[in-house]
């Protein structure tokens, strides 16, 4: 949850249930390996639910659990705070 990718996946799922490809497009820059690892961790920690449908081709939907939704309610104000101050936060890092 505390990784950059974990936060971005949670934010993407805040808009509703997404399939693998939709999540990959929503979280720009994430590799397939990192997305798989992040989803496994979030599922293991109880924030994300994985719903596999027995179809061909396989279909897997990801959504927030009630715990994930609660976490997102606390996370969104923090993300908004960072976004509003991003310029000032990044300025000291510029050469």
Question: Rounded to an integer, what distance in angstroms lies between the CA atom of residue 44 and that of residue 74?
Answer: 20
Domain extents for the chain? 4-93
4-93 classified as CATH 3.40.50.970:
no
**Other Cβ atoms closer than 10 A to 49:** 17
Across the chain, what does the average pLDDT equal? 90
pTM for this predicted structure: 0.84
Residues in the chain, how many? Answer: 95
Question: Rounded to an integer, what distance in angstroms lies between the CA atom of residue 42 and that of residue 73?
Answer: 16
pLDDT digits (tens, 9 = 90+) for 3-29: 889 999 999 999 999 999 999 999 999
% of the chain beyond a pLDDT of 90: 68
Contacts (Cβ under 8 Å, ≥6 apart) of 72: 10, 11, 13, 14, 64
pLDDT digits (tens, 9 = 90+) for 31-49: 999 999 999 999 999 999 9
Cα dihedral 6, 83, 28, 15, rounded to 10, equals 70
């Amino acid at each position: 949850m505390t990784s950059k990718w974990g936060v971005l996946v949670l934010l993407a799922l805040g808009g509703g249930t997404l399939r693998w490809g939709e999540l990959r497009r929503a979280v720009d820059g994430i590799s397939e390996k990192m997305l798989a690892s992040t989803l496994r961790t979030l599922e293991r920690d109880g924030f994300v639910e994985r719903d596999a449908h027995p179809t061909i081709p396989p279909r897997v939907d990801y959504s927030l659990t009630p715990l994930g939704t609660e976490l997102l309610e606390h996370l969104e104000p923090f993300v908004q705070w960072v976004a509003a101050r991003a310029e000032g936060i990044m300025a000291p890092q510029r050469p």
